[in-house]
Amino acid sequence: MSRHNHRAPTQMRPINITRHYTRHAEGSVLIEYGETKVICTASVIEKIPPFLKGAGQGWLTAEYGMLPRSTGERMQREAARGKQSGRTMEIQRLIGRALRSILDLKQIGERTIQIDCDVIQADGGTRTASITGAFVALHDAIEYLRTQQTIITNPIQDQVAAVSVGLLQGQPLLDLDYMEDSNCDTDLNIVMTGNLGLVEVQGTAEKVAFSRQELNTMLDMAQQGLQELFALQRKVLAAVAS
C-alpha cells in the first residue's frame, strides 16, 4: 500500500526542531512533524501549586492550544468560547504526565516548570509533536536554571518523545498525518523514554477493534520511530551555539 504522500509505512515525516524559537521563555522550541508545527515553551515560575505546599518538591504542568486557523476549517477560539474542550484537556494532561515521567521533581526545588504547546499549523500528530518538542524546551529551561546555579544536579533522568501509529485496512502506518488519521481504523499514541520504557500507550479503535498481534506490530513500529526522534533530540541538544 502506498501512502498518499509517497511515504513508506515505516517512514516518519521530516522532523525539524528549532531551539530558541521565541525569546522570552527559558526554553522555546518550534517542532515540525511534516506540516504539523507546534511552538513548545518551558517557563520557570517561582511558585508551586497549593497541593504541594510544604512537600519540598517542584512541579511541572502543561497547557495546549491550537490557533483557530491552524486547521483546515477554522475552529472556535477556546478563549472566546470560555472553556477548553475535552480534547484539549486530555492532551494537556497527557503532555504533563509524559514530561513528569522523566523529571525528578524533588531536584527542581519549589518552583513550577510550565509547558505551553501551541499549534501553529495542524496536520495530524499535534500531541506527539508537542511531547517531543516540549522535552527539548524543558531541557533548555533546566539548562537555564543550572547556568543561573539555581539548581545544581540535573533533574532530567531520561529523554522522552512520542509518535503515533495507525492501522489502515490492516496495514500499520507510522506517524499519521491528518488525512491518514481521519481514515484509519485504529489510532495509537506511544510515549517512550530514551531507554525504551513505555510511559503512555493510548490505543483507540476508531472503527474496528484491533488484535493483540496488531497492537504488537504497531508498538514495534512506534519504537523504531521513537529511536529516530531520540537521535534527533540528542543531535539538536548537542549543537553548542544554537
Binding residues: 87, 125-127
In the shown chain, the binding pattern of residues 219 to 238 toward a second copy, with x for contact by CB under 8 A and - for none, equals: x-------------------
CB 99 within 8 Å of CB 155: no
Q: Does 124 bind a second copy (CB under 8 A)?
A: no
Q: How far is CA 122 from CA 34, 129, 139, 166, 193, in A?
A: 10, 10, 24, 17, 25
**2 CB burial (10 A radius; 0-12, 13-18, 19+):** exposed
Residue 4: strand pairing partners: none
Q: In this chain, which stretch among 6-14, 66-74, 168-176, 225-233 interacts with a second copy, using CB under 8 A?
A: 66-74
Q: Which of 5, 14, 20, 45 binds a second copy (CB under 8 A)?
A: 45
Q: Does 92 bind a second copy (CB under 8 A)?
A: yes
Q: Does 203 bind a second copy (CB under 8 A)?
A: yes
Residue 131 main-chain phi, psi, to 5 deg? -65, -45
Cα distance between residue 93 and residue 131, in whole Å: 11
Q: In this chain, which stretch among 10-18, 147-155, 169-177, 213-221 interacts with a second copy, using CB under 8 A?
A: 213-221
Q: Does 63 bind a second copy (CB under 8 A)?
A: yes
Closest CA to 118 of 76, 44, 68: 68
Q: In this chain, which stretch among 12-20, 103-111, 212-220, 224-232 interacts with a second copy, using CB under 8 A?
A: 212-220
Q: Which cell is 144 given?
A: 537555564
CB 97 within 8 Å of CB 199: yes
Residues that bind a second copy (CB under 8 A): 22-25, 28, 35, 37, 39, 41, 43, 45, 63, 65, 67-72, 74, 77-90, 92-93, 97, 101, 114, 116, 118, 120-122, 188, 192-193, 195, 197-205, 208-212, 215-216, 219
